[in-house]
Amino acid sequence: MQDASKDDASRRDYGLFVRRNPGGLALKLSDEGVAIAGDRLVWTTATGEDSRLLSDISAVHLSVAHITRHGDFGSCIIHFGGAAPLQVVGSSAFGFPDEERDPVYAGFVRDLHKTLATRPTGVVRFSAGVSEGRLQVMQVMLVIAGLLFAALPLILLLLTGDLGMLAVAVAGGLFVAGLYGWTQKNRPRGYDPHHVPPELLP
């Protein structure tokens, strides 16, 4: 496999962390750098660079991760025919939202979709969100969290008059609101590559 030339005048580089064949827990991401260079997608590896033809891309999946008290960051998983997928994230190396990378991630996603949108309809599958099963689990957790962290402190406030419960209820409400926002952004669906859903971008 031939890597894309670094001298390619059309090369666009994005300072984002990548993972090949994502899955499982990674305590720290180490491979940083992805680029669109001519007709190839290029990314950093432990030994240098690897690349695949953009025409090898069979699917793109977007989602948003939420970290309580820190915010959101985007994830773009790119599937290739007959090869392991590549995940590109807008997070820091330790998996936390990174405001400096937000516009870089958004730019990469838009540029990638602009390129892929020129291919015939149906050649590349575009999907977003989590699975139906995971969404249902999160919705159940949302109800439980609302009862425990927001409704219960308010009931205790009414019963005891303890104003400390008000602060607990407010904090719980903010937590539940963040969780609700995450479930809304990550509802499973397909989308048009000409119009990337804005809620999936930072």
Q: What is the DSSP letter of 120?
A: P
**Segment among 71-75, 89-93, 159-163 with least mean pLDDT:** 159-163
How much of the chain, in percent, has pLDDT values that exceed 70?
94
In 3D, which of 123, 86, 88 has the Cα closest to residue 107? 88
pLDDT recorded at residue 80: 95
- Give yes or no for a contact between 174 and 150, defined as CB atoms under 8 angstroms apart: no
Alpha-carbon distances, residue 158 vs 90, 152, 154, 170, 174 (angstroms): 43, 10, 6, 15, 20
Confidence of residue 1 (pLDDT cuts 50, 70, 90): very low
Q: Tally Cβ neighbours within 10 Å of residue 130.
A: 19
Query: Model-level pTM greater than 0.85?
Result: no
Query: pLDDT per residue over 168-197, tens digit each?
Result: 888 888 888 877 877 888 889 999 999 999
Q: Is 200 left (phi over 0), alpha (psi -120 to 50) or beta?
A: alpha
Query: pLDDT per residue over 127-143, tens digit each?
Result: 999 767 777 777 788 88
Would you say residue 7 has pLDDT above 60? no
Would you say residue 70 has pLDDT above 90? no
Residues 6+ apart with CB under 8 A from 6: none
Q: What is the DSSP letter of 198?
A: G
Would you say residue 3 has pLDDT above 50? no
Query: pLDDT per residue over 23-56, tens digit each?
Result: 666 778 999 999 999 999 999 998 999 999 999 9
CA distance 198 to 20: 25
Would you say residue 89 has pLDDT above 50? yes
Average pLDDT, the chain: 88
- Give yes or no for a contact between 21 and 77, defined as CB atoms under 8 angstroms apart: no
- Give yes or no for a contact between 35 and 12, defined as CB atoms under 8 angstroms apart: yes
Query: How would you class 161 by CB atoms within 10 Å of its CB: exposed for 0-12, middle for 13-18, buried for 19 or more?
Result: exposed
Alpha-carbon distances, residue 52 vs 31, 98, 110, 145 (angstroms): 17, 27, 19, 44
CA distance 150 to 147: 6
When pLDDT is averaged across residues 58-86 and rounded to a whole number, the result is 90
